Amino acid sequence: MPDAATHLPFYYGSISRKEAEEYLKLAGMMDGLFLLRQCLRNLGGYILSVVYDVRFHHYPIERQLNGTYAIVGAKPHCGPAEVCEYYSKDPDGLCCNLRKPCNRPSGVEIKLGIFDSLRENMIRDYVRQTWKLGGDALEQAIINQAPQVEKLIATTAHERMPWFHGDILRSEAERRLYTGAQPDGKFLLRQRGNSNSYSLAIVYGKTAYHYLIDHDKSGKYAIPEGTKFDTLWQLVEYLKMKSDGVIYCLKESCPNPNLPMGAGAPVPPSLPKNRLGGGIDGYTPEPVFNGSSAKSDSPTGCRKPGVLPMDTSVYESPYSDPDELKDRKLFLPRSSLMIDEVELGSGNFGSVKKGVYKMKKKQIDVAIKVLKSENEKTVKDEMMKEAKIMHQLDNPYIVRMIGVCQAECLMLVMEMAAGGPLNKFLPAKRDQMPTSNVVELMHQVAMGMKYLEEKKFVHRDLAARNVLLVNQHYAKISDFGLSKALGADNSYYLARTAGKWPLKWYAPECINFHKFSSKGDVWSYGVTMWEAFSYGGKPYKKMKGPEVAAFIEQNKRLDCPANCPDEMYKLMQDCWIYKVENRPDFVDVESRIRTFYYSIAVKPEEAKDLSKGAKRTNPNPI
Ligand code: ADP
Ligand code: MG
């Protein structure tokens, strides 16, 4: 999850309260002077530091379950910037309204937190190793799954820290602390047996002191009655700055002799493969279509990853194995293909049947498009064109073609997307699909379209009916029957004659001038978004295609679907910008929907108890 405050000039990142106060002092201490910093206890949270009456006031801003930000108990806002803007107009319970931002002095950069600098490498390593991905599939998985994986990684990041010694006895902890120099503040953390409780050991005056760290019901870590933290590494970082009841501030870490490389190096995760499922909160993989995964939060507040695209066999190309790639040809032998009588769907050309295709090492489920009027040469040509386009595409969010088979009839063999078309799936699963699930799927469609745009292909029939689902959390773009390759020098395809076109999905320049570019696909993407957020609603109700074209010319657009987030309706409206040159491209669209998806995908904990516990002066006798 990218930090939502990095663009703010008065945001300092991971600085301590003391440092914040220093900056405010330097800037003059006038009433209403304020700055924003990262909250060191709460993942994704901030602290607003304000001066009033020559005193400092610090307000924690939390990320709420629904992705909004709020000072505890106060009005929620969509981002940290909006929170500050709101309190600049109205103090609404603060010491005063925010009057003057205390901007970072020139040369002062945002201070990265310890996890900020580790995060990317850890996510990359985790995704690569857990799903054995490489190349583009790895990059796409990182982009799409970062929010889910990041939270998981954050809660296990301590395992990669040099001060974490795992499950060792108290006596062994002391032996390690007493080995070598013993400066005050030398410390380590150990796990207590297989439990979820830990112990902090710190040297002070050549003596080791031990503090129990509890993992409470709400998933927080704390020394009993002390400040609560989302993760162990946050607790350690905090105690480095402030002793908070511990006998001395944490200083030098006593390095774990068994940790390779040491010093917080992003070593590959040591988690077993099932850790994503079983390690943190007892999650076990769920049936693909039960839909409960996206809604439920574990007791730790960590969103259960549920079904991820990478868990399916169709995430990676069937030809990513070099042995399989060797024999890759457009035409497939009939003997390797088993065709089921089950019909998955039908279209203008004929029907789509279920089947299995035998490869060298594995067999894969396939969908087979079968021509009905074999004799018509034009139909056959059309299908071969579609096959040739699909043959050039290889992306996790686009239905891959396996090949063509010429036998009892001409057949197009594709990887299987068993969930069927989005426009049919959504109304049936409405109750089990929160908005975030719809955003997730539409983000995947945007990634697939960004790939097409980059490869210079225009789809020309993007619509919810042509987005197929592998499962509830994995969408793929299909139906390349109208698609064209633009070639290196063209930014659009000019259709000589109008055909049987899906006018309700077409941009004005497509209808009026027969000009098809990726920006035309962006328009269709907007309509597809509308269909998705209205859970399979029919765009423009009973209007006919030409009526819709006139409606658009009058500068009218589809209304916002019920319960559709503002950000998403705004994006649709931008997809429907009349002038091609002002319309966003898929690079923009993907980035915008990704930012929104990240902002709602990770649900932080219900952190209600922010009160500081009673201060302890004595270590716990453990
Ligand atoms: P048309 O050009 O006639 O719209 P499509 O390619 O959209 O043809 O396929 C028609 C229907 O066949 C789809 O709506 C879907 O139900 C089914 N279908 C097509 N491809 C697949 C696939 N790869 N996996 C599962 N079902 C598919
Ligand atoms: Mg179709």
Tell how far the Cα of 385 is from the centroid of ligand 1, in angstroms.
16
- pLDDT class of 602 with cuts at 50, 70, 90: low
Tell how far the Cα of 525 is from the centroid of ligand 1, in angstroms.
18
Beta sheet of 207-215, edge-to-edge order: 187-191, 198-204, 207-215, 221-222
Rounded mean pLDDT, 234-254: 93
Kindly state whether residues 383 and 437 are assigned to the same domain: no
Residue 325, pLDDT score:
82
Residue 2, pLDDT score:
65
Q: Indicate the top mutation candidate among 339, 379, 478 to test ligand 1's pocket, ranked by most ligand atoms within 8 A of CB.
A: 478
Q: Indicate the top mutation candidate among 422, 465, 479, 482 to test ligand 1's pocket, ranked by most ligand atoms within 8 A of CB.
A: 479
Task: Confirm whether 12 is domain-assigned.
Answer: no
- Inter-residue contact 40 to 14 (CB < 8 Å): yes
The string of DSSP codes covering 237-276 is: HHHHH--TTSSS---SB---TTSSS-TT--PPP---TTII
Kindly state whether residues 429 and 554 are assigned to the same domain: yes
Comparing 62 with 424, which gets the higher pLDDT? 424
- pLDDT class of 522 with cuts at 50, 70, 90: very high
Tell how far the Cα of 97 is from the centroid of ligand 2, in angstroms.
56
- Count how many domains the chain has: 5
Looking from the CA of residue 481, the nearest atom of ligand 1 is 2
Query: Nearest C-alpha to atom 12 of ligand 1 is from which residue?
Result: 345
Query: Nearest C-alpha to atom 25 of ligand 1 is from which residue?
Result: 417
Taking residue 274's Cβ as centre, other Cβ atoms within 10 Å add up to: 12
Tell how far the Cα of 529 is from the centroid of ligand 2, in angstroms.
17
- pLDDT class of 130 with cuts at 50, 70, 90: confident
What six digits make up the tokens of 621? 């006798």
Q: Indicate the top mutation candidate among 339, 343, 344 to test ligand 1's pocket, ranked by most ligand atoms within 8 A of CB.
A: 344
Residue 65, pLDDT score:
65
Kindly state whether residues 456 and 587 are assigned to the same domain: yes
**Whether the predicted pLDDT of 472 surpasses 70:** yes
- pLDDT class of 613 with cuts at 50, 70, 90: very low
Residue 67, pLDDT score:
72
- Rounded Cα gap, residues 134 and 246, in angstroms: 45
Express each pLDDT in 109-121 by its tens digit: 999 887 787 778 8
- Rounded Cα gap, residues 307 and 291, in angstroms: 9
- Rounded Cα gap, residues 584 and 519, in angstroms: 7
- pLDDT class of 306 with cuts at 50, 70, 90: low
pTM (2 decimals)?
A: 0.75
Looking from the CA of residue 348, the nearest atom of ligand 1 is 3
Looking from the CA of residue 418, the nearest atom of ligand 1 is 25
Residue 129's φ and ψ, nearest 5 degrees, are -80, -35
Residue 443, pLDDT score:
97
What six digits make up the tokens of 616? 């302890």
Looking from the CA of residue 352, the nearest atom of ligand 1 is 12
Task: Confirm whether 344 is domain-assigned.
Answer: yes
Q: Which ligand is nearest to the CA of 349?
A: 1
Kindly state whether residues 302 and 379 are assigned to the same domain: no
- Inter-residue contact 187 to 251 (CB < 8 Å): yes
Kindly state whether residues 409 and 287 are assigned to the same domain: no
Task: Confirm whether 338 is domain-assigned.
Answer: yes
Residue 153, pLDDT score:
83
Kindly state whether residues 473 and 411 are assigned to the same domain: no
The enclosing domain of 80 has a CATH number of 3.30.505.10
Kindly state whether residues 491 and 351 are assigned to the same domain: no
The verdict on whether 461 is a catalytic residue reads yes
- Rounded Cα gap, residues 69 and 72, in angstroms: 9
Kindly state whether residues 462 and 541 are assigned to the same domain: yes
Kindly state whether residues 438 and 568 are assigned to the same domain: yes
Residue 260, pLDDT score:
60
Express each pLDDT in 53-92 by its tens digit: 999 999 999 887 677 899 988 999 989 999 999 999 999 9
Rounded mean pLDDT, 247-257: 96
Give kind and range of the element (H or E) at residue 200: strand 198-204
Tell how far the Cα of 352 is from the centroid of ligand 1, in angstroms.
6
Kindly state whether residues 210 and 284 are assigned to the same domain: no
**Whether the predicted pLDDT of 32 surpasses 80:** yes
Task: Confirm whether 109 is domain-assigned.
Answer: no
Q: Indicate the top mutation candidate among 352, 398, 461 to test ligand 1's pocket, ranked by most ligand atoms within 8 A of CB.
A: 352
Query: Nearest C-alpha to atom 17 of ligand 1 is from which residue?
Result: 345
Picking from 153, 100, 108, the residue whose alpha carbon sits closest to that of residue 12 is: 108
Tell how far the Cα of 313 is from the centroid of ligand 2, in angstroms.
23
Kindly state whether residues 222 and 344 are assigned to the same domain: no
Pocket of ligand 1 (CB under 6 A): 344-345, 347-349, 352, 367, 399, 414, 416-417, 420-421, 465-466, 468, 478-479, 481
Say which of 230, 311, 461, 479 is annotated catalytic. Answer: 461
Tell how far the Cα of 562 is from the centroid of ligand 1, in angstroms.
28
Which residue has 């929170």 as its token pair? 83
Q: Which ligand is nearest to the CA of 421?
A: 1
Tell how far the Cα of 479 is from the centroid of ligand 2, in angstroms.
5
**Whether the predicted pLDDT of 284 surpasses 90:** no
Express each pLDDT in 151-170 by its tens digit: 788 888 898 889 999 999 99
Express each pLDDT in 543-599 by its tens digit: 999 999 999 999 999 999 999 999 999 999 999 999 999 999 999 999 999 999 988
Query: Nearest C-alpha to atom 21 of ligand 1 is from which residue?
Result: 367
Which segment of 6-10, 123-127, 333-337 scores lowest on mean pLDDT?
A: 123-127
Residue 135, pLDDT score:
87
Kindly state whether residues 500 and 482 are assigned to the same domain: yes
Burial of 25 (0-12, 13-18, 19+ CB in 10 A): middle
What six digits make up the tokens of 414? 């594709």
The enclosing domain of 394 has a CATH number of 3.30.200.20
Q: Indicate the top mutation candidate among 340, 416, 426, 468 to test ligand 1's pocket, ranked by most ligand atoms within 8 A of CB.
A: 468
What is the residue range of 169's domain? 163-241
CA 514 to centroid of chain Cα atoms: 37
**Whether the predicted pLDDT of 619 surpasses 50:** no
Query: Nearest C-alpha to atom 20 of ligand 1 is from which residue?
Result: 367
CA atoms within 13 A on the CB side of 90: 7
Query: Nearest C-alpha to atom 3 of ligand 1 is from which residue?
Result: 347
- pLDDT class of 375 with cuts at 50, 70, 90: low
The enclosing domain of 558 has a CATH number of 1.10.510.10
Looking from the CA of residue 478, the nearest atom of ligand 1 is 6
- pLDDT class of 414 with cuts at 50, 70, 90: very high
Tell how far the Cα of 312 is from the centroid of ligand 1, in angstroms.
19
Task: Confirm whether 154 is domain-assigned.
Answer: no
The enclosing domain of 304 has a CATH number of 1.10.930.10
Query: Nearest C-alpha to atom 23 of ligand 1 is from which residue?
Result: 416
Query: Nearest C-alpha to atom 8 of ligand 1 is from which residue?
Result: 347
**Whether the predicted pLDDT of 524 surpasses 60:** yes
Looking from the CA of residue 351, the nearest atom of ligand 1 is 12
What six digits make up the tokens of 575? 């997809």
Express each pLDDT in 177-225 by its tens digit: 999 999 999 999 999 988 889 999 999 999 999 999 998 888 889 998 8
Tell how far the Cα of 465 is from the centroid of ligand 2, in angstroms.
6
Q: Which ligand is nearest to the CA of 344?
A: 1
164-171, long-range: CB within 8 Å, 24+ apart, which pairs?
164/188, 164/189, 164/190, 164/232, 164/256, 164/259, 165/189, 165/190, 165/254, 165/256, 165/258, 166/190, 166/191, 166/256, 166/258, 167/191, 167/192, 167/193, 167/194, 170/199, 170/201, 170/210, 170/622
DSSP at 281? T
Looking from the CA of residue 479, the nearest atom of ligand 1 is 6
CA 143 to centroid of chain Cα atoms: 6
**Whether the predicted pLDDT of 357 surpasses 80:** yes
Task: Confirm whether 7 is domain-assigned.
Answer: no
Looking from the CA of residue 347, the nearest atom of ligand 1 is 3
Q: Which ligand is nearest to the CA of 379?
A: 1
Q: Which ligand is nearest to the CA of 463?
A: 2
Instruction: Break the chain down into helix, strand, coil percent, rounded to 5.
Output: 35, 20, 45
Query: Nearest C-alpha to atom 19 of ligand 1 is from which residue?
Result: 352
